[in-house]
């Protein structure tokens, strides 16, 4: 792979005067060095939030789902909103590592490790919600098709929630394997550099005895390709199935055939935004600006812009179809969504998801690191509200007006959400300090072709 | 079930007298068991590795293991029948006929008793029993943990012997002082009790019996007496009425004791193209007004004039009155009355003798068949004048002793302070009470009485129709009946049971069997001698006096709410949580006000973030009495009038949760529910309501409650007014019901249950809600949870107001909203009810869809379809994802947000051992985290099937019932098997008025609704 040729007009993916050893040193630095004050502060905050979340979850399980703000009409709200939001965020990782691998997009190499880590960690958060939203968590294993002594007692394969169980667990395991495969040579690099026996031992275990033989590399490449092939349909399937939770129902505002593509686009949208949020900070803190360049961020911004526009089209299509269908319940559901008591959530969703990415048409804005960071946060907020709008505004006023009501979260709802954010960052911060956050082995493979120094040498483009 | 089945064993059986078959019959084992060979073979035995010692080890171990396995904890609190009572079979319910007569509600009922525990009240249909929500809920009051558990003297517990001695001594003292003894009771329709009071009079002399109704019907009684010579109430058979004109009479509520819903509903179902026409003039939105074909908002004071005008127009000009905007409506009503002649009736709820006289006079002039002046009713007898006199006498020290029974005057009297003062001046004050209520606390002796389900007694509800009260459980506490005490005090040694039986045998039964009467719960005397006479009444004076009643800008009309009635069952959580049929607000009373008045005052109703309803607080004052009350803006409330319900604001003998609302009796000056000259002042703060329905209008969704007019119904094909929704299939318009995603399932075999609900017959009374509560162990969740929209009712009655004058207007408005902004403006407008809306009720429970949306989405298949049409819930399997509830278009699924039983946070009947006795053992109590919903009373249908099977017969026609269908004496709910040609429900399901709720979704429900027909024909 290293032998590819890159046109001179392409901007280098590794900036600065880097050689192979520099890459190893740069990637190993956060692992081998000591954590600074900032890390500890961030970690403490995340841990506190996580503990708060655990407290809120314990309270819920000990007392009942009634401690949330749900009611007879709105049976899901923050729980499933958070679930879909986290699953959506988990989308970027696989898209970057699998789809972009298949499309031979070299720029993925700088970001795929962290994107995948983010995927794994956010799917963990997502997976929490379908479990804790159950009234009887202690019977959660009922959703698994386990052989039992009750004869024909089996799960209901008609239920999208059951499809979810399979979709999420498949996605999680494939992502994990894919991620770990990529990590093997990098763990081996850390192992080889480690001076303390304990670290050596640990990284030795984690790298599964990687030796760096040609055979190892050959298998590595093959497995990566096979897993990429496997993971690509998953990118589409997971969120398609999550959207089925709504699309196969009969609730006006949920029962929509546009949901699968719309959800996938939304997921990629939010996933890239989250990658941007994380990496913009990480490249700064961990001194990785040479590998996660402005160009990376710009490219991600373009993906955000495109997927954001797709999502925007979907929003408008929904409104059009509601009107065109001539079904009064459908029409009212969308009228209520946009102008009902939750109009502010709809407006927030529209402005964050449809309008804000449009700024990315301007080169100046999409190459601005600060602006990209702000937009990434805005998009994350917008996408949370998208799910909230879909779930709550559809449920709170459905068929029979007698059951119409409103939803308002309790401190437990909020606590659990904050808790998962804390949990996510606890994992991510630990990861940033212990894992090779850049796929250095892969990055090294493009150093000659796309490293600034080598590019200059080759193209004779001396200044 | 002994079985005589023969099982096929071998081909040999085909042969006659086969030797093999014979041999087999004798031999249990086909082959000889080779014991001898085994034991005889020494070699095998010796080489066997199992030695004697091993054998003993095994035996020892096995014995020890078996012994250990049997070491289980003992069964706690379950006492087996060592000697089983003859007539109790565990698991089989017993039914006893008895009568509820608590002074406010009178009903012939059947009591369902399981293992010695009364658990449910049902109407005794053989005795025309009608059970309203309160009667249905009365069984829970039996298990009220705050009941008075024994006799008390000045708050200290004493024994019955001590009480008897002390009271008799004091009674003798009073007798010696020749001061009168007053026996103050609620309306007592009991002939034997009246006889006993007479007996008391014989013993102690000078005993005066004062009857007192907390909510007075004195005016009607006095008027009837003046016109017919007897102080009683006439009976109305509204089924016979073609035109019903009511001026302020909430006859579907507790007007004149209530009980008219069944006959009213029968006349409301269009049969042979005819149904009654109901015109209501009223100020508060009452249940009757909500059911009326035409409702005219009239302030209480103007109702007097309306009645005079009506008399003028129907009978003759008696008193000229000024022109009011009402004239037109009254002329039209009068024309209809005249056209209907003797098939019309005029009812009035105005608490004024003159008004009652005029109404009776109109009916008399019409020669109305609807009211029966010969068969009178005894369910209201209170005399306001007597009560007022008694209080005056007490305060002047003219009364020696007061014995109070079946009444809580300290709470219900408007001048309760004077009564309490008076009590201090009498030598002896005794109150018989079930609860440690206000009166029990104010008297010297509070004597614990049993609940009616623990008592003997009788009641003559209707003249000539005698009902018996029999105990269905041994007294739970150290209680004694009022009548038993009277017997003891008069020196008699007989029990009340013997006394009752003797009275009946000698005076009532006339030779008929006592046991039969007890079994039937009712005995009807053969010929009833009419004891009313027609008297001449000076109507002119009456009319002129009535016309002089002055109104004011703001007038208060006190009313009775369906839930608590007069307030004696305020500690009953079922009734507290029963949403009011009109406002759908529970756990409260409030001041109802028209929107215009509220705006003028600056009072508002608003919704907080979770949707719950809040209302402004106002201070209501009347002659020095004032109370801070929350305002509920009531569509249909007459401008310038206010409504306030009785029964709330009790503080004594109630759990903290039940101490809801404010006491309206304080405003019940002179026992008149109409109080002019009230003043209102807005005060700061807001009140939190527990309202279960936050959207009041139907939003122009005419397919939810289909409506038509009698004219269209009679003249146009049903396809026009009962439209089946159409969908496009292969570019052709086809009926939505004909399109199906799934292969249909053969449902023609076995039973297939349907429930039919006639929207014409349903008056919204709510009896079915309580019946469902009792039958299915539905938990009470309390005010806070209701505010969070988490009521647990399996069955609810939705109430909708129209935005326009009627629902057809709403539909039209919706159709006309063109363009996006037009659509939005229309929808926004439709959210607000009209100032005088048309009202529709719709009972909604699980629709048991044959294509149930909930069933497909449950990941664990906890909810699935039964062979008999029910959508079933397997609580054990449910993990509580709530997906089913989200996907239910009818929103009938209820989630157990918390553990409701055994939870001190939900301190209702399921949190104490006594309250739990009401639970139906056939229905599981659900735990936290599971979904629950209407099961179509599967425990009842299965019991019916089992019973028929045991008796070796097919299930009888219309034998299947559900709790709601039994409770619905109006006949709106009919349950049955549609696979059975003879079942009524089969015909109803195929009726041209039949439709399914939200038919266009294709859920194919097993609940059928019937298009509501309104009689809009004006004369």
Cβ contact, residue pair A397, B1001, below 8 Å: no
Place domain B236-376 in its CATH homologous superfamily. Answer: Dimethylsulfoxide Reductase, domain 2 (3.40.228.10)
- Please give the average per-residue pLDDT across B108-136, as a whole number: 92
Tokens 């969308």 locate to A334
Whether A136 shows a pLDDT value over 80: the answer reads: yes
Burial class (CB in 10 A: 0-12, 13-18, 19+), A209: exposed
pLDDT band at A463 (very low <50, low <70, confident <90, very high): very low
Tell me if B620 sits within 8 A of B592, measured CB to CB: no
How far apart CA B911 and CA B900 sit, in angstroms, is 8
Residue A413: which of A70, A62, A138 has the closest Cα? Answer: A70
How far apart CA B25 and CA B339 sit, in angstroms, is 85
Cβ contact, residue pair B609, A408, below 8 Å: yes
Tell me which chain A residues have a C-beta less than 8 angstroms from the C-beta of B799: 402
CA B91 to chain centre: 26
Judged by a CB distance cut-off of 8 A, whether residue B905 touches chain A is: no
Task: Measure CB to CB from residue B897 to each of A65, A248, A335 and give the nearest one.
Answer: A65
**What letter does residue B147 receive in the DSSP assignment?**
B
Residues of A (33-72) whose Cβ lies below 8 Å from B: 63-66, 69-72
Given the candidates 3.40.50.2300, 1.10.530.10, 3.30.70.20, 3.30.565.60, the CATH classification of the domain at B707-743+754-1014 is 3.30.70.20
Pure H helices in A33-159: 37-63, 78-89, 91-94, 100-102, 112-132
Cβ contact, residue pair A135, B878, below 8 Å: yes
How far apart CA B90 and CA A350 sit, in angstroms, is 64
Q: What is the pLDDT of residues B462-506, one digit of tens each?
A: 888 999 999 999 999 999 999 999 999 998 889 999 999 999 999
Whether B343 shows a pLDDT value over 90: the answer reads: yes
Q: Can you give the length of chain A in residues? A: 463
Give φ, ψ of A35 to 5 degrees. -70, 140
Tell me if B697 sits within 8 A of B832, measured CB to CB: yes
pLDDT at residue B782, rounded to an integer: 93
Task: Measure CB to CB from residue A158 to each of B608, B814, B856 and give the nearest one.
Answer: B856
Judged by a CB distance cut-off of 8 A, whether residue B787 touches chain A is: no
Burial class (CB in 10 A: 0-12, 13-18, 19+), B71: exposed
Cβ contact, residue pair A136, B878, below 8 Å: yes
Tokens 């029993």 locate to B129
Tell me if A161 sits within 8 A of A130, measured CB to CB: yes
pLDDT at residue B73, rounded to an integer: 65
Strand intervals (E) in B134-224: 152-153, 156-157, 181-185, 207-211
Compare all CA atoms of chain B with the CA of A140 and give the residue at the minimum distance.
B879
Pure H helices in B901-990: 938-950, 963-967, 984-989
CATH fold of the domain at B570-691:
Barwin-like endoglucanases (2.40.40)
Interface test with B, best of A135, A137, A333, A340 (most B CBs within 10 A): A135
pLDDT band at B77 (very low <50, low <70, confident <90, very high): low
Residues linked to residue B626 through DSSP beta bridges, in sequence order: B621
Task: Give this prediction's pTM.
Answer: 0.90
Compare all CA atoms of chain A with the CA of B898 and give the residue at the minimum distance.
A64
Whether A450 shows a pLDDT value over 90: the answer reads: no
Whether A434 shows a pLDDT value over 80: the answer reads: yes
Interacting residues of B558 by C-beta distance below 8 A, sequence separation 6+: B643, B644, B645, B646, B664, B667, B668, B673, B674, B675
Interface test with A, best of B608, B789, B802 (most A CBs within 10 A): B789
pLDDT at residue A429, rounded to an integer: 94
Regarding beta strands B152-153 and B156-157, do their DSSP bridges make them parallel or antiparallel, or are they unpaired? antiparallel
Whether B132 shows a pLDDT value over 70: the answer reads: yes
Distances in whole angstroms, Cα of residue B991 to Cα of each of B76, B718, B756, B849: 54, 10, 10, 19
Interface test with B, best of A64, A325, A335, A407 (most B CBs within 10 A): A64
Tokens 């002129």 locate to B544
Q: What is the pLDDT of residues B168-187, one digit of tens each?
A: 999 999 999 889 999 999 99
Residues of B (602-621) whose Cβ lies below 8 Å from A: 607-611
The pLDDT > 70 percentage for chain A reads 98
Give the tokens for residue B433. 């009470």
Judged by a CB distance cut-off of 8 A, whether residue A403 touches chain B is: yes
> Phi/psi class of residue B403: alpha, beta or left (left: φ > 0; alpha: ψ in -120 to 50)?
beta
Give the tokens for residue B698. 């139907």
Rounded to 10 deg, the angle between the A294-325 and A369-388 helix axes is 30
CATH fold of the domain at B152-216+382-520:
Rossmann fold (3.40.50)
The C-alpha of A330 sits at a distance from chain B's nearest C-alpha, in angstroms, of 12
Burial class (CB in 10 A: 0-12, 13-18, 19+), A356: buried
Positive or negative, the Cα torsion across B229, B232, B235, B241? Answer: positive
Judged by a CB distance cut-off of 8 A, whether residue B856 touches chain A is: yes
Q: What is the pLDDT of residues B196-255, one digit of tens each?
A: 999 999 988 889 999 999 999 999 999 999 999 889 999 999 999 999 999 999 999 989
Mean pLDDT of chain B: 90
Judged by a CB distance cut-off of 8 A, whether residue B861 touches chain A is: yes
Cβ contact, residue pair A328, B701, below 8 Å: yes
Judged by a CB distance cut-off of 8 A, whether residue B694 touches chain A is: yes
The C-alpha of A135 sits at a distance from chain B's nearest C-alpha, in angstroms, of 4
How far apart CA B95 and CA B914 sit, in angstroms, is 21
Judged by a CB distance cut-off of 8 A, whether residue A332 touches chain B is: yes
pLDDT band at A33 (very low <50, low <70, confident <90, very high): confident
- Please give the average per-residue pLDDT across B883-897, as a whole number: 95
How far apart CA B376 and CA B463 sit, in angstroms, is 5
Cβ contact, residue pair A66, B859, below 8 Å: no
Q: What is the pLDDT of residues B721-738, one digit of tens each?
A: 999 998 888 889 999 888
pLDDT at residue A455, rounded to an integer: 81
Domain boundaries, chain B: 9-72, 152-216+382-520, 236-376, 570-691, 707-743+754-1014
Whether B527 shows a pLDDT value over 50: the answer reads: yes
Residue B652: which of B483, B437, B340 has the closest Cα? Answer: B437
Tell me if B406 sits within 8 A of B264, measured CB to CB: no
Compare all CA atoms of chain A with the CA of B899 and give the residue at the minimum distance.
A64
Pure H helices in B951-1011: 963-967, 984-989
pLDDT band at A460 (very low <50, low <70, confident <90, very high): low
How far apart CA A15 and CA A452 sit, in angstroms, is 5
* Through-space distance between the first and last CA atoms of chain B, rounded to whole angstroms: 65
Pure H helices in B3-146: 19-26, 35-40, 42-47, 52-69, 133-142
Q: What is the pLDDT of residues A37-84, one digit of tens each?
A: 889 999 999 999 999 999 999 999 999 999 999 999 999 999 999 999
Cβ contact, residue pair B879, A135, below 8 Å: yes
| Cα Rg, chain A, nearest whole Å | 23
Task: Measure CB to CB from residue A65 to each of B699, B861, B929 and give the nearest one.
Answer: B929
Judged by a CB distance cut-off of 8 A, whether residue B857 touches chain A is: yes
Compare all CA atoms of chain B with the CA of A159 and give the residue at the minimum distance.
B857
The greatest distance separating any two alpha carbons of chain A, rounded to the nearest whole angstrom, comes to 78
The greatest distance separating any two alpha carbons of chain B, rounded to the nearest whole angstrom, comes to 127
Tokens 């209302």 locate to B615
Judged by a CB distance cut-off of 8 A, whether residue A169 touches chain B is: no
Pure H helices in B871-912: 883-886
Cβ contact, residue pair A335, B698, below 8 Å: no
Interface test with A, best of B897, B933, B934, B996 (most A CBs within 10 A): B897
- Please give the average per-residue pLDDT across B708-727, as a whole number: 91
Task: Measure CB to CB from residue B883 to each of A69, A161, A396 and give the nearest one.
Answer: A161
pLDDT at residue B497, rounded to an integer: 94
Positive or negative, the Cα torsion across B506, B512, B513, B518? Answer: negative
Whether A275 shows a pLDDT value over 50: the answer reads: yes
Judged by a CB distance cut-off of 8 A, whether residue A400 touches chain B is: yes
The C-alpha of A342 sits at a distance from chain B's nearest C-alpha, in angstroms, of 10
pLDDT at residue B74, rounded to an integer: 60
Burial class (CB in 10 A: 0-12, 13-18, 19+), B730: exposed
The C-alpha of B733 sits at a distance from chain A's nearest C-alpha, in angstroms, of 14
pLDDT at residue A2, rounded to an integer: 44
Compare all CA atoms of chain A with the CA of B788 and give the residue at the minimum distance.
A71
Residue A220: which of A101, A51, A54 has the closest Cα? Answer: A101
pLDDT at residue B40, rounded to an integer: 80
Q: Between A443 and B74, where is the model more confident?
A: A443
Q: Residue B928's CB: how many other CB atoms inside 10 A?
A: 19
Helix (H, G, I), strand (E, B) or coil at A100: helix
């Amino acid at each position: 792979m290293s032998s590819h040729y890159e046109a001179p007009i392409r901007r280098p993916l590794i900036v600065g005067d880097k050689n192979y050893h520099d890459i190893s040193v740069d990637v190993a630095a956060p692992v081998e060095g000591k954590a600074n004050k900032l890390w500890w502060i961030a970690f403490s905050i995340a841990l506190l939030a996580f503990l708060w979340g655990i407290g809120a979850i314990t309270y819920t399980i000990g007392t009942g789902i009634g401690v949330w703000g749900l009611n007879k009409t709105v049976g899901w709200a923050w729980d499933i909103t958070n679930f879909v939001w986290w699953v959506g965020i988990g989308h970027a990782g696989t898209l970057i590592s699998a789809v972009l691998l298949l499309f031979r997009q070299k720029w993925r190499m700088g970001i795929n490790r962290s994107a995948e880590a983010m995927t794994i960690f956010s799917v963990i958060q997502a997976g929490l919600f379908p479990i804790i939203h159950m009234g009887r968590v202690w019977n959660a294993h009922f959703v698994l098709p386990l052989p039992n002594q009750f004869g024909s007692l089996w799960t209901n394969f008609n239920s999208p929630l059951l499809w979810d169980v399979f979709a999420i667990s498949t996605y999680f395991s494939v992502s994990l394997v894919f991620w770990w495969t990529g990590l093997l040579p990098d763990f081996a690099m850390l192992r080889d550099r480690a001076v303390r026996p304990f670290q050596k031992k640990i990284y030795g275990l984690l790298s599964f005895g990687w030796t760096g033989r040609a055979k190892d590399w050959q298998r590595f490449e093959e497995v990566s390709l096979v897993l990429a092939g496997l993971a690509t349909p998953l990118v589409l399937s997971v969120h398609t199935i999550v959207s089925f939770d709504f699309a196969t129902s009969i609730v006006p505002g949920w029962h929509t055939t546009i949901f699968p593509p719309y959800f996938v686009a939304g997921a990629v949208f939010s996933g890239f935004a989250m990658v941007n949020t994380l990496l913009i900070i990480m490249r700064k803190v961990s001194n990785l600006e040479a590998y996660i360049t402005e160009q990376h961020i710009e490219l991600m911004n373009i993906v955000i812009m495109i997927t954001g526009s797709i999502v925007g089209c979907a929003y408008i299509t929904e409104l059009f179809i509601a009107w065109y269908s001539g079904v009064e319940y459908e029409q009212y559901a969308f009228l209520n969504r946009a102008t009902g008591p939750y109009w502010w959530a709809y407006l927030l969703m529209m402005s964050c998801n449809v309008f804000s990415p449009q700024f990315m048409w301007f080169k100046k804005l999409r190459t601005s690191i600060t602006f990209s960071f702000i937009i990434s946060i805005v998009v994350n907020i917008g996408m949370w509200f998208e799910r909230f709008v879909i779930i709550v505004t559809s449920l709170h006023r459905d068929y029979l007006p007698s059951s119409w009501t409103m939803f308002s979260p309790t401190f437990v709802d909020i606590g659990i959400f904050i808790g998962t954010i804390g949990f996510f960052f606890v994992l991510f911060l630990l990861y940033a300090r212990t894992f090779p956050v850049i796929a250095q082995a892969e990055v090294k493979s493009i150093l000659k072709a796309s490293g600034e120094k080598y590019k200059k040498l080759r193209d004779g483009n001396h200044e | 079930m002994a079985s005589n089945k023969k099982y096929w064993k071998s081909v040999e059986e085909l042969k006659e007298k086969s030797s093999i078959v014979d041999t087999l019959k004798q031999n249990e084992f086909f082959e000889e068991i080779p014991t001898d060979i085994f034991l005889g073979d020494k070699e095998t035995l010796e080489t066997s590795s199992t030695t004697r010692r091993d054998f003993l080890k095994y035996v020892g171990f096995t014995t020890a293991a078996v012994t250990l396995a049997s070491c289980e904890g003992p069964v706690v609190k379950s006492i087996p029948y060592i000697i089983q009572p003859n007539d109790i079979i565990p698991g089989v319910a017993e039914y006893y006929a008895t009568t509820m007569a608590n002074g406010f509600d009178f009903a012939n009922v059947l009591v369902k008793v399981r293992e010695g525990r009364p658990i449910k009240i049902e109407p005794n249909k053989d005795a025309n029993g009608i059970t309203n929500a309160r009667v249905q809920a009365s069984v829970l009051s039996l298990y009220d943990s705050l009941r008075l558990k024994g006799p008390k003297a000045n708050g200290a517990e004493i024994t019955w012997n001590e009480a008897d001695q002390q009271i008799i001594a004091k009674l003798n003292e009073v007798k010696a002082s020749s001061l009168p003894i007053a026996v103050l009771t609620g309306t007592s329709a009991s002939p034997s009790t009246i006889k006993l009071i007479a007996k008391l009079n014989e013993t102690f002399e000078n005993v005066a019996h004062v009857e007192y109704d907390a909510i007075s019907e004195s005016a009607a009684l006095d008027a009837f007496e003046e016109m017919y010579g007897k102080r009683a109430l006439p009976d109305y058979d509204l089924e016979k009425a073609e035109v019903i004109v009511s001026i302020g009479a909430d006859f579907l509520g507790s007007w004149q004791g209530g009980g008219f819903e069944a006959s009213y509903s029968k006349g409301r179902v269009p049969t042979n193209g005819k149904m009654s026409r109901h015109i209501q003039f009223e100020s508060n939105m009452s249940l009757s007004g909500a059911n009326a074909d035409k409702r005219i908002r009239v302030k209480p004071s103007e109702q007097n004039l309306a009645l005079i005008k009506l008399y003028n127009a129907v009978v003759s000009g008696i008193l000229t009155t000024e022109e009011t905007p009402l004239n037109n409506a009254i002329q039209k009503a009068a024309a209809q009355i005249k056209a209907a002649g003797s098939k019309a009736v005029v009812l009035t709820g105005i608490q004024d003798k003159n008004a009652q006289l005029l109404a009776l006079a109109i009916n008399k002039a019409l020669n109305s068949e609807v009211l029966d002046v010969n068969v009178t009713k005894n369910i209201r007898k209170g005399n306001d004048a007597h009560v007022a006199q008694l209080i005056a006498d007490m305060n002047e020290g003219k009364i020696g002793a007061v014995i109070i029974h079946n009444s809580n005057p300290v709470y219900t009297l408007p001048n309760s302070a004077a009564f309490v003062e008076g009590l201090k001046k009498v030598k002896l004050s005794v109150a018989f009470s079930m609860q440690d209520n206000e009166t029990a606390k104010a008297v010297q002796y509070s004597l614990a009485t049993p609940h009616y389900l623990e008592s003997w007694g009788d009641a003559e509800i209707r003249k000539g129709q005698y009902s018996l009260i029999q105990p269905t459980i041994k007294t739970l506490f150290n209680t004694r009946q009022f009548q038993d005490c009277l017997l003891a005090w008069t020196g008699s040694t007989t029990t009340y049971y013997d006394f009752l039986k003797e009275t009946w045998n000698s005076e009532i039964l006339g030779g008929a069997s006592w046991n039969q009467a007890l079994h039937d719960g009712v005995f009807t005397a053969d010929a009833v001698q009419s004891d009313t006479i027609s008297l001449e009444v000076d109507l002119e004076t009456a009319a002129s006096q009535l016309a002089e009643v002055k109104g004011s800008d703001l007038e208060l009309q006190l009313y009775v709410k369906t839930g608590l009635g007069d307030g004696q069952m305020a500690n009953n959580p079922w009734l507290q949580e029963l949403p009011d049929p009109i406002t759908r607000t529970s756990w409260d009373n409030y001041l109802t006000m028209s929107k215009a008045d509220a705006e003028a005052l600056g009072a508002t109703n608003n919704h907080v973030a979770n949707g719950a309803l809040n209302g402004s607080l106002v201070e209501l004052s009347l002659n020095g009495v004032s109370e801070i009350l929350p305002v509920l803006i009531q569509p249909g409330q007459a401008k310038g009038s206010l409504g306030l319900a009785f029964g709330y604001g009790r503080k004594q003998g109630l759990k903290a949760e039940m101490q809801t609302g404010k006491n309206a009796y304080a405003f019940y000056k002179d026992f008149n529910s109409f109080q002019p000259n009230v003043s209102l002042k807005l005060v700061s703060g807001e009140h939190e309501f527990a309202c279960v329905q936050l959207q009041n209008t139907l939003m122009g969704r005419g397919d939810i409650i289909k409506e038509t007019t009698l004219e269209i119904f009679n003249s146009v094909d049903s396809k026009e007014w009962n439209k089946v929704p159409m969908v496009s299939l292969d570019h052709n318009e086809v009926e939505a019901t004909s399109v199906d995603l799934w292969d249909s399932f053969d449902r023609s075999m076995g039973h297939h249950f349907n429930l039919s609900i006639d929207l014409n017959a349903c008056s919204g009374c709510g009896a079915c809600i309580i019946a469902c509560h009792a039958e299915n162990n539905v938990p009470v969740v309390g005010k806070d949870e209701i505010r969070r929209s988490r009521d647990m009712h399996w069955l609810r009655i939705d109430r909708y107001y129209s935005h326009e004058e009627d629902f057809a207007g709403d539909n039209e408005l919706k159709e006309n909203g063109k363009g996006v902004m037009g659509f939005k403006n229309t929808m926004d407008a439709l959210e607000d009810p009209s100032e005088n809306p048309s009202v529709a009720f719709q009972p909604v429970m699980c629709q048991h869809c044959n294509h149930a949306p909930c069933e497909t989405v449950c990941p664990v298949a906890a909810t699935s379809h039964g062979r008999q049409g029910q959508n079933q819930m397997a609580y054990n399997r449910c993990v509580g994802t709530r997906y089913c509830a989200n996907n239910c278009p009818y929103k009938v699924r209820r989630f157990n947000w918390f553990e409701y039983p055994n939870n001190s946070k939900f301190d209702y009947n399921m949190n104490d051992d006594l309250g739990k006795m009401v639970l139906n053992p056939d229905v599981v109590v659900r735990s936290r985290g599971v979904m629950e919903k209407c099961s179509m009373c599967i425990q009842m249908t299965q019991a019916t099937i089992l019973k028929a099977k045991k008796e070796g017969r097919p299930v009888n026609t219309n034998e299947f019932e559900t709790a709601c269908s039994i409770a619905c004496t109006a006949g709106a709910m009919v349950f049955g098997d549609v696979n059975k040609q003879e079942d009524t429900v089969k015909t109803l399901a195929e009726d041209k008025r039949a439709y399914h709720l939200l038919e266009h979704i294709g859920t194919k429900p097993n609940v059928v609704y019937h298009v509501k027909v309104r009689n809009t024909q004006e004369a």
